[in-house]
Every structure is written in structure tokens, then in C-alpha cells.
Amino acid sequence: MKKKELEHLKNLVENSEYFRLKDDRDYENERANARSKIVKKVLVTIYGFKNVRVKRDHGTASGWITVDIVVKTSQKDFPKEFKDSDKIHKLLKRLGITFPQYYPDAGPGDTWTDCLIINIDLQ
């Protein structure tokens, strides 16, 4: 990603409602809504409006965000780094977007993991 594009995304995130809300229990629901909106805005600038769907879960899983992205493989000029969900996750974190975390309990060596699922559909 070019430096100018990264600066634009950083400004988009820093000027969003997500950073204006306090990080405490009283604003948890509003902050989660703002988080999903800014994730969508960032990804729409990269993939286009019709290619991104961001969904926030409800109830005890209210912190979870599921992102569905459609990438047309016929786009030759499309950057390869945005076909990898780990790199997208790292970009979101680099922009200062934080996610609630959970501990999977699956076995030794597990670590805290962000409540974020990124599905990329290569068409």
C-alpha cells in the first residue's frame, strides 16, 4: 500500500466516531457499532462498496465482527497483499482499530485472539 493511501486511511480512522467514544463499559455498545462502521469504511476504500459486508454479532458475542469480502481475481492490478486475511487484520491494527479478545481454550500454546473473522471470496 502506498504511503499516501495509508495516510488517507489513518485520517479516516482518527476522525471517526470510534476514537471519540470513551473506552469504558458505559459506551461499549456504541463503541462496537462505531468499530464495525470504521472497519467497513476502511475496507470499502480498498475493495469497493459492493464487495464488502461487515456484520456485528449480538448477545454474548456482541464484540465479534465478521467481514465478508469479494475479490475478483480477474483484476490484474489488485494488490496481492489484500487477498490475505492476516495482512488485512494487520492493516486494521496498524490504523489503530482494536478488537475485543477471547481465549480459545483449545490446548497448550493458545493465545488471546481478536474477535474478528475475515472471509475472502476469490471469484
**Number of structural domains found in the chain:** 1
The C-alpha atoms of residue 63 and residue 95 are separated, in whole angstroms, by: 19
Tens digit of each residue's pLDDT, the chain (123 residues): 677 888 888 888 888 877 777 666 666 778 888 888 899 999 998 888 888 999 988 766 667 899 999 887 666 666 666 677 888 888 898 888 888 888 777 667 677 888 889 998 877
Cα–Cα separations (whole angstroms), residue 20 to 54, 55, 63: 21, 22, 18
Cβ-based neighbours of 83, under 8 Å, separated by 6 or more: 71, 120, 122
CA-based max dimension of the chain: 46
Domain that holds residue 64: 3-122
* Closest to 12 in 3D by CA, of 109, 103, 92: 92
